[in-house]
Structures are given as structure tokens and as C-alpha cells.
Amino acid sequence: MTGVVLVTGAATPGVALAARRIAEAGDARVVAVDTTLPTDDLGSVKFVRADIRTPVISKVLAVEDVDTVVHMDLAPMRSRGGGSATKEINVIGTMQVLAACQRSDTVQRVVLASSAAVYGASPRDPAVFTESATARGGTKSGFAKDIVEVEGYTRGFARRRPDVTVTTLRMAQWLSPHFPTVLGMYFSNPVLPVPMGFDARLQLLHPQDALEVVAMAALSDRPGTFNVAGDGILMLTQAARIMGKPTIPLPPLGFGSVLRRMVHYMGSDVSPGVHRLLTYGRVLDTTALHEIFGYSPRHTTRETFEWYAETARPGLLHSWGITG
């Protein structure tokens, strides 16, 4: 395929890697946008400083003659501006990007790098979420609420522009030792607070698999909504043992606020709403990814976590020979 692919959110390390992967995987020209210059090497990718919250994104599409838009500028938290800035970029930014795509005469494909957070996390969840399932709790605030809104706007765009191929990738939690992730920030603490009486089932996504799926969706038509995650699950207590880190059981009531204070005291941070994931867990059915999209992840959930744990700081229990 020849053409021009625009990727949003290039200042985020994982997004910068995705832009490079798209450029390396095909013969398309790749343009990456963000408000700040990426610290990661973009290789042959062209960087354009642009704020997706403004109509200037329409000019970028026109000037660069873009035919594919990969929207990855979605995050549970931002380093600057706090929660209001996060919601503004996630929701208002998405609205502006889709509005620009709707007005464009050249855009033929839109890829949304969404999140499994759209399913929320609650005690009423099914054992496994399929793409047709809806959230049963935990989407009334924070990043989960943003993602629900973002996907709603994307579905509206697809109805208004049926001539454009729309792919929505509902990705499980990324985990990497090379750049910060939601769960990575949690597991980086010397002691792990856990909700008393719960043992969440976690499902992870290796960055290499995430980048491959994004590149495939960007370079060929794969319409539809797809869960993207590594095979298998890992219990929260198993993950703690693999890391060799002790846990501190906390009462479920108020676990979120206590978790934030404890993690902050230990010199780290935690994404708002992650306490629900650590309490109830979340597992995705990836049948459609395998059979319809045409990709089988190379790394299982456990392999991804063990890869992360190998390069992380050894936990206290490692010195005692207590690991899982």
C-alpha cells in the first residue's frame, strides 16, 4: 500500500514506536503529530507540531494529503494539566480529529487505538468480555468514561461516513520496562497494596503485539471492533510473587483513595480508576482478533509479565527466595 498515514499522540513513547512500526511495515509515508516534540527517535516518520484539540488538525490532513488516520492520543493520565487536561485531549481531541476526517476528501481509513477500559470493572462483570458486551459498572468517571465517549463519537462518525473503513482496537493493559504504563507504575512500588478478599484476573498486552496490530490496521482494511490482548491470565497475587514483592491487604471500601496515598508516599503515581481493575480484574475474548482480524499475539499474558519482571528492580522477597 502507498499513501499517507497520520498518527496522533507522537510524544508518548508507545505511540512513537507505533508510528515507526507503521513506517517500517509498509511503503506508506507516516506523519506524526503532537503538541510537544517526541523524545524518542521517529526514524523516517515526519513530525508536525499540532494540537488535536483545535481545527488545525484539518489543515494537517489537507496539506499532507492523509488517507489513513491512526488516533492514539488517548491516555488515562497526563504529565501536565491534571485530570481536566486529560479529559480535554481524550474527548475534545477525538471530536476534532473525527470532525477533520469527516470533512476530508482524502481520508479512507480511521483506526482508533481504544482501551479495554471501555468495559469498566465491576463485581457484575462476565467472566470474559466479547466485543458485543457492554460495561456493567465502573465507567461513570475517569479514563473509562472518556473511552466510552470516544467510542460513541467514533461510531457516529462511521455512520456519517460509511465510505471510510473504521477499525476500533480495544487493547488490554500494555506492560513494558522501557516506558511508563498504568500497571507498570503500580508494580514499580516496593510494596504492593491489594484489596482484601480479592485476587484480580489480569490480562496484558506485549508492546510488540500492540504495535503489530496497529500497523496491520493502518496499512490494510480491517473494519470492525476487536479485543486485543495476550492469551491467558495472571492473578494479581501471582504477579506479586513473580516480582518478589510483599503485598499489603487493604479494606475494599476506600481502597482507591488509600492506594493513591500509599503509592504517592512511596514516590510513584497511579492512574485514577486503576483500583477497580486491581479489585475486579478484566478478561477479554480475543476470538475475533485471531479469526477475523487475522493476528495471533506472539506473547501470552504471563510471558509479557515475566519479560517485564526480568528487567525490573528485584523485590524484597527475592532475597528470601520467595517468588512465584
What confidence score (pLDDT) does residue 265 get?
Answer: 74
Task: Give yes or no for residue 286 having a pLDDT over 80.
Answer: yes
The two most distant CA atoms of the chain are separated, in Å, by 63
**What are 19's three cell numbers?**
508510528
Q: What is the pLDDT of residues 38-94, one digit of tens each?
A: 999 999 999 999 999 999 999 999 999 999 999 999 988 765 445 677 889 999 999
- Average pLDDT for residues 9-28, to the nearest whole number? 94
Q: What is the pLDDT of residues 215-229, one digit of tens each?
A: 999 999 999 999 999
Question: Quick one: which of 151, 56, 142 has its CA closest to 111?
Answer: 151
- Residue 319 confidence (pLDDT) above 50: no
C-alpha–C-alpha distance, residues 142 and 20, integer Å: 30
Q: Given pLDDT bands bounded at 50, 70 and 90, which one contains residue 269?
A: low
Q: What is the mean pLDDT of the chain?
A: 91
**Grid-cell match 460495561, residue found:** 135
- Which pLDDT value is given to residue 320? 45
Q: Give the tens place of pLDDT for each residue, 165-187.
A: 999 999 999 999 988 888 998 89
The residue count for the chain: 324
Per residue in 192-205, pLDDT (tens digit) is 999 999 999 999 99
What's the pLDDT at 78?
A: 63
Phi, psi of 308 (to 5 degrees): -65, -45
Residue 2, pLDDT score: 63
**Is residue 274 pLDDT above 50, yes or no?**
yes
State how far the Cα of 3 lies from the Cα of 21, in Å rounded to an integer: 15
Alpha carbons 28 and 215: distance in angstroms, whole number: 11
pLDDT in tens, 227-265: 999 999 999 999 999 999 999 999 888 888 888 787 777
Q: What pLDDT, in 10s, does the model give residues 120-132?
A: 999 999 999 999 9
What is the structure's pLDDT at 82? 52
What domains lie within the chain, and their CATH numbers?
Answer: 4-174+205-229+283-288 (3.40.50.720)
Instruction: Tell me the average pLDDT across 86-112.
Output: 96
Name the one residue in this structure whose C-alpha cell is 468517571: 141
pLDDT above 70 covers a percentage of the chain that reads: 92
pLDDT at 253: 84
